[in-house]
Amino acid sequence: MLVSIVRMHPKLNEREKAIAMRKEGKTYSEIRKVVLVAKSTISLWLQDVGLAKAQKQRITAKRVAAQRRGAETKRRQRVERTKSIYVAASKEVGRLTRRELWLIGATLYWAEGSKAKPHSVSTGIDFGNTDSEMIKLFLSWLRTALHVEASRINTSLYVHISHKHRLSEVIQYWEAQTKLKIRYVYFKKHNPKKSYRKNIGTTYFGTLRVRVYESTDLQRKIQGWIYGIIGEPCRLV
């Protein structure tokens, strides 16, 4: 008796295996780990294979998880790279000399301090910012370069009215940062034109203003230093 033996092509076995795995809700990547063929071949084999809702959800969840892992890896790489840049750049600065601190402070005041105006020619030292590190550097400059006594320094806090419930926390924050007592608090009202405000969470601590009593001539001296930095003749107001 003649027995005919039909040998199934290896590709057919692989195709059936791929289809079965797809129907189980496996992703293309999972299938390719078992069925060792090109991705284009897998796509061709599975183009007509439908998936149940639960299977689609599983595949979607797998994709989302993969995207999150990729995003987290990129975030870690960015953090490490940024940290490396910060450390290297910080070392480039080294220890500041008195002269460097003096010029830095004058430039800071140029950017953030109050200046004399035609309508207000007798302006004292008045400096404000939301950055506590900048405020601390400015205070160090006042004491080191300008020899201003602590008794002449006055602080005022400006906080948006929406953070009134956090006032105690905000005051404690600034007093801890500056080692100074907050003397006055002013609330800023909501402005509809600025509804895009981003800094509204628990990291918001308002603006601290530092003023120096009886400092009109000292402020004029600072303005003179600024003219010296920019190499420009003094302008009288």
Q: What is the pLDDT of residues 23-61, one digit of tens each?
A: 777 888 888 888 888 888 877 887 767 665 666 666 677
Percent with pLDDT over 70 in the chain: 82
Longest distance between any two alpha carbons in the chain, whole Å: 121
Residue 27 lies in a domain: no
Backbone angles phi, psi at 135, to 5 degrees: -60, -45
pLDDT of residue 49: 74
pLDDT of residue 37: 82
Is 158 a residue whose pLDDT tops 80?
Answer: yes
What is the phi-psi region of residue 103: left when phi exceeds 0, alpha when psi lies from -120 to 50, beta otherwise? alpha
Whole-Å CA distances, 236 to 70, 108, 115: 60, 21, 12
pLDDT of residue 10: 55
pLDDT of residue 88: 94
Domain of residue 183, residue span: 98-230
Beta carbons within 10 angstroms of residue 136's beta carbon: 13
Say which amino acid occupies 79: V
Residue 155 lies in a domain: yes
Distance of alpha carbon 201 from alpha carbon 195, whole angstroms? 14
pTM of the model: 0.66
pLDDT of residue 1: 44
Local confidence band at 68 (pLDDT 50, 70, 90 cut-offs): confident
* Domain count within the chain: 1
Residue 137 lies in a domain: yes
Highest mean pLDDT among 35-49, 115-129, 176-190: 176-190
Q: Coil, strand or helix: which one is 152?
A: helix
Residue 157 lies in a domain: yes
Residue 145 lies in a domain: yes
From first CA to last CA, the distance across the chain in angstroms is 120
Is 195 a residue whose pLDDT tops 60?
Answer: no
Compute the mean pLDDT over every residue in the chain, rounded to the nearest whole number.
84
Residue 82 lies in a domain: no
Distance of alpha carbon 158 from alpha carbon 135, whole angstroms? 14
Residue 112 lies in a domain: yes
Residue 111 lies in a domain: yes
Say which amino acid occupies 202: T
